[in-house]
Amino acid sequence: MTLAAEKEMTHLGETCGCADHDHDLVHDLSRRLDALWRYDQYIANAEWRDEIAQFWRDAKAQEQQAIQRLKQLIKQEVRNDCF
């Protein structure tokens, strides 16, 4: 690693707003919400291809389930004062 790159990364991670596992929950929730936002467009783009459209509908349903589970876990962390 170059000296400039080392200097650039010297202080990363010194300040932490929450535990890593809580950050991971929030980060993944954000990623999944972004994906969910796109699924309706994917479904519309494949409207003439039934198998592809069904794949996107299935993926959307799975994403919605994962999002609900992540929300529950985040609520639990907040209730436990771990967040």
Q: Is 11 inside any structural domain?
A: no
- Which CA distances in Å does 36 have to 21, 33, 56, 60, 70? 22, 5, 10, 6, 14
Short-list 29, 36, 31, CA closest to 74:
29
From the centroid of its chain, how far is CA 11? 25
Q: Has residue 2 got a pLDDT over 70?
A: no
Q: Is 56 inside any structural domain?
A: yes
Q: Is 3 inside any structural domain?
A: no
Report the distance separating Cα 70 and Cα 83, nearest Å.
14
Q: Side chain identity at 25, as an amino acid letter?
A: L
Q: Which domain holds residue 25?
A: 18-79
Structurally, the chain folds into a number of domains equal to: 1
Summarize pLDDT for 14-61 with one digit per residue, the tens: 888 888 899 999 999 999 999 999 999 999 999 999 999 999 999 999
**Top-confidence residue, 66 or 18:** 66
Q: Is 7 inside any structural domain?
A: no
User: pTM for the full model?
Assistant: 0.78
